[in-house]
Amino acid sequence: MPYARPPAPPPSLPDSPPPRQILFRHPGYDDSNNVLFKLHAIDAATVSSHDSEEGTPQRPGTLALGLYAQFALNACAIFAGNRFNGWLSTLRNPDEARDARVDAGSILVARSYYYHLDRDNDIDGPDGSYRIVPNFREWRFPHENIPAH
């Protein structure tokens, strides 16, 4: 007499939407072809009225998935060649973005953000846009410039 069980049914998958991604852009380039990188929104956040105006589909006061801003800032700094003095904003124009900086301790819930840097004449291009590290091979570990956080 065999002791075999009938095959188990296939696992049922929840009907959840695909993970939401947040786009990070360079303010010096046109949005039609301007995504430096994307990160999954994995942190819980309560949507504020300001966030909902910035392209977030949720209503203010609802729970949404976002991303810890300091984590995103560190990733952006790596793409900018270890320039950790930048800030994030949903605004592309640097002058307007200075007044709309995202707090590093907040949760990002908008669809896309721009990483802004103050101009450095020794490093930046002639048009004022900062250079990026195009691949991991060309990135150099910041041995003497690791952020305190």
Q: For the chain, which residues make up each domain, given as ranges?
A: 21-135
**Average pLDDT value for the chain:** 84
pLDDT at site 41: 94
CA Rg value for the chain = 20
pLDDT at site 53: 44
CA distance 8 to 6: 6
CA distance 126 to 76: 21
pTM of the model: 0.77
pLDDT at site 52: 44
pLDDT at site 143: 85
Q: Does pLDDT of 23 surpass 70?
A: yes
